[in-house]
Amino acid sequence: MTLPIFIPGDDPGPDFVGLLDRLGVGAFEPTVPFDAAQITHGTTVLAIRYSEGVLMAGDRRATSGHLISHREIQKVFPADSYSGVAIAGAAGPAMEMVRLFQLQLEHYEKVEGTALTLDGKANQLCQMLRNHLPAAMQGLAVVPLFAGFDPRAGLGRLFQFDVTGGRYEERDYAAIGSGGLHASTVVKLRHHDGIEADEAIDVAIEAIFQAADEDIATGGPDIVRGIYPVVALITADGFERLDDDDVAARTGSLLERLRGAS
């Protein structure tokens, strides 16, 4: 494969989206009229900062209007080795944005010989959201969460965004999607300074469970099908997704506790 050659002043450098534009391949194609009820949407995702890093979690349900379109969709992804991105909104454009974001971070590191800072990665995601704004105004909104371990600060950090590309760093936690309000309420009541990974995982699982109990677009644990929320930890050791068996065992303990309290 031959790499494209640009004249001085026309080289997009480490900007992968700029490279696509130079080659005439739009990263986000123009949209056409559509039936909003037929568009697949994904909810609910959250992030929690804890003592060793940051946790990200998401339910597995996607809906089209009032129908369940998918039961096992993944909404939490590694952005690179030390950061992750979670999505809510129109599933198709969101998945495409995640893939493009992953490629952008990889492309930058190859061209520049060093990885972007965590703030730099968040800024790249802001730019992609701004590029996506015309589609968002037509009903294909994408709203991500971004989190990662910052080696300079020695701690986990998390960022929330809006559809216009606005970036807002949160101190302890964030939750978005149709069940985000219910999930964030659970986290708010249980989060505390110095929370450890083990407790943060249990808080995240309960937050998604309670969100699913109130919001039809959020999927709770499906014990019959063996479908559980995706939970990932990001620390100085990198991005690590928890095994489904671990999440299932913790979900079982949560259900036993809730039964005992009723």
Active site (catalytic) residues: 43
Q: Is the peptide bond before 44 cis (omega within 30 degrees of 0)?
A: yes
Tell me the two tokens of residue 167. Answer: 């970036």
Distances (CA, A) of 123 to 99, 117, 157, 257: 16, 10, 14, 42
The per-residue DSSP string of the chain comes to -PPP---TT---TT-HHHHHHHTT--SSPPP----GGGS-EE--EEEEEETTEEEEEE---EEETTEEEESS---EEEEETTEEEEEEEEHHHHHHHHHHHHHHHHHHHHHHSSPPPHHHHHHHHHHHHHHTHHHHTTT--EEEEEEEEETTTTEEEEEEE-TT--EEEESSEEEESTTHHHHHHHHHHH--TT--HHHHHHHHHHHHHHHHHH-TTS---BTTTTB--EEEEEETTEEEEPPHHHHHHHHHHHHHHHHHH-
For 211, other C-beta atoms within 10 Å of its C-beta total 28
Separation of alpha carbons 173 and 229, rounded Å: 17
